Amino acid sequence: MTTTTATTSVSSSGGITVSGVGSGIDTSSIVEALVNAQKAPKQTQITTQLSTVAAQKSAVDAVNTALTTFTTAIAALNDTTKFIGLAATSANESVATATSSNKAAAGTYDLLVTQLATGSKVTTAAVSGGASTVMTTAATTLSISQGTGTSYSVSLGANTTLSGVRDAINSQLQSKGITANLVTDSTGASRLVLSSTTTGADTGLSMSGVTALDIDGSMAGSNTGAGYLGKIPQDAKYSIDGLDMTSASNTLDSAISGVTINLTGASTGTTPTVITVGSSTDDLKTSVQSFVTAYNALMTTINAQTAVTASGATASTSTSATTTAGALTGDAGIRNLLASIQGQLTKSGSSGSLSIISQLGVSTQSDGSLELDDTKWTAAMTNSAGDVAGLFVGDSGLLSRLTSVITPYTQTGGILQTRIKSYDASTTDLNNQQTDLDSRMDTLTTTLTAKYSAMDTLVAQLNATSTSVMTTLNSLNTKSSD
């Protein structure tokens, strides 16, 4: 008697598929193998391309970010004051501090400060009821004048208290440098005190509009009365090299050409404070080194995406080495970018004694990075410190030229952004291909399963017929023997 064998397998959907009931053959495994064989080449292609596109997009993103960081860094350096090569110093910073610009000239100056410029501080008369006292029952306007030519209006609502007046002045005039505060004594009486950050002889504050708060800024305040506190505002008085001068401000930005002096206190007796404007190559070197550092950070990122690295090799087993290429190795666009950037380092852009950065001791290394040689730098500073700014700064300076060649790559809609969009489009297309492939393979699975099921059914029918025939023959054979 013939026995049929059933093969049972669990389908990916969690159900149970029985194959080979009639034939004893595992038809589901055959179908799976045929489908996988059909799918494998295209699946490998899609998987490989998705991986490649993802790696290239990530690499371009990294380069784009590095370029943006670099241009931001050099934009901060693209200022003549960063490369002036001169520095102003004060021998006594309790009297004055000093800074220089590119218009300064070397020299020393004797500064003697007699008095500082001061601002106005005034007080109202005491208000016995304190901060909560209502100063006006109807809406009104305070008028605050400063000196002889400036006045401001402050709107007050009905039933505004003394503290409300303070708040109104602060909210409406703080941007003008005028602020208000309350001072309360032991009896609970309060005064409104106004201060101004504006200094100079003609900057005294006066106030009118609410009788109890009126202030005559030309009169001295008292324990009970309104007026100025301390002294009437005054100009700064000073001398430079014996020349007497005055200033409404403690910041002197034109007393010495190219030098800004901030007065901080009066001189002691007749001893002057020496202001020195002299060569300072340290500041120059800091700026140049900042450029070198920013440039090297950019090269490090680009090299990481373009380099070919070898691993696994030793002196005795060099043939076993394996190489790994970066995502952008051999990329024409990145090669053009590098050529444009590196070309600016050797392009002459200044009419002074310095035309290229190698004259400062800045040289290109084998990996594309830059290095500042201290010995060459010191030699260059002997005669060329004044020309460093022209080399780096200005429309034809190195920093502007580098920005110009990089901008087409990093700007909105630029070269790199366009490439990133193309990678996104490729990823979408590959994902669609994956969906189509999966759909086709599902259809193929269904078709093959149906065909093999039909075959198995036919085999089962033939087996049944064979069994029936054999049974009949056996029966006839048995009767014949009888």
Ranking 284-288, 318-322, 462-466 by mean pLDDT, the lowest is: 318-322
Tell me the residue type at 274: V
In the prediction, which pLDDT does 61 show?
95
At residue 401 the predicted structure's pLDDT band, cuts being 50, 70 and 90, is: very high
Residue 30: which residues within 8 A CB-CB, separation 6 or more?
Answer: 448, 452
Predicted local confidence at residue 466, as pLDDT: 78
| pLDDT at site 101 | 76
- Please give the sequence-ordered ranges of beta strands (E in DSSP) within 272-385, or none if there are none: 273-279, 308-311, 322-325, 362-364, 370-372
Instruction: Give pLDDT tens digits for 54-95.
Output: 999 999 999 999 999 999 999 999 987 788 777 889 999 999
With residue 146 as reference, give the H or E element that holds it: strand 140-146
Q: Quick one: pLDDT band at residue 481, thresholds 50, 70, 90?
A: low
DSSP state of 53: H
pLDDT at 351: 62
DSSP 235-289: -EEEEETTEEEEESSSEEEEEETTEEEEE-S--STTPPEEEEEEE-HHHHHHHHH
CA distance 76 to 290: 10
Nearest to 299, CA basis, from 242, 385, 371, 240: 371
Q: How far apart are CA 304 and CA 299, in angstroms?
A: 8
pLDDT of 319-373, one tens digit each?
666 788 888 998 999 999 999 999 999 988 766 788 899 999 999 999 999 999 9
Return the structure tokens found at 81: 């004051």
Among candidate residues 7, 256, 52, 226, the one with its CA nearest the CA of residue 125: 226
* Residues 6+ away with beta carbon under 8 Å from 73: 290, 294
Residue 230 has pLDDT above 50, yes or no: yes
Neighbours of 296 (CB within 10 A): 17
pLDDT one-digit tens code per residue, 7-21: 444 444 343 344 555
Task: Return the percentage of the chain with pLDDT > 70, whole number.
Answer: 92
Tell me what pLDDT residue 8 has. Answer: 41
- Predicted pLDDT of residue 479: 65
Per-residue pLDDT, averaged over 205-216, amounts to 96
381: tokens are 């500073």
The answer to whether 244 and 110 are in contact (CB under 8 A) is no
Above 80 in pLDDT, residue 229?
yes
Q: At what angle do helices 398-410 and 27-77 cross, to 10 degrees?
A: 150
- Which pLDDT does position 9 carry in this prediction? 43
What radius of gyration do the chain's Cα atoms show?
44
Query: Given a cut of 90, is residue 201 above it in pLDDT?
Result: yes
Give pLDDT, residue 131: 95
Mean pLDDT of the chain: 88
Give the pLDDT of residue 3.
40
Q: Is the pLDDT of residue 465 over 90?
A: no
Residue 424 near residue 57 (C-beta atoms within 8 A): yes
Average pLDDT rounded to a whole number, residues 399-408: 95
Q: Which of 22-26, 254-258, 332-336 is the least confident region?
A: 22-26
Residue 482, pLDDT score: 57
**Token pair in block for residue 412:** 């909105």
Return all residues near 382 (Cβ < 8 A) that are at least 6 apart: none
User: Looking at residue 315, what is its pLDDT?
Assistant: 57
pLDDT of residue 447 exceeding 70 = yes
Distances in Å between the alpha carbon of 280 and those of 41, 83, 89, 385? 68, 10, 11, 9
What token pair was written down for 156? 């007050």
How many residues does the structure list for the chain? 482
Residue whose token pair is 């080194």: 289
pLDDT of residue 4: 41
pTM > 0.75? no
CB 444 within 8 A of CB 35: yes
- Nearest in space to 120 (alpha carbons), one of 94, 85, 146, 144: 146
* HSE toward the beta carbon, residue 335, CA cutoff 13 A: 4
How much is the pLDDT for 2? 40
- What does the pLDDT read at residue 404? 95
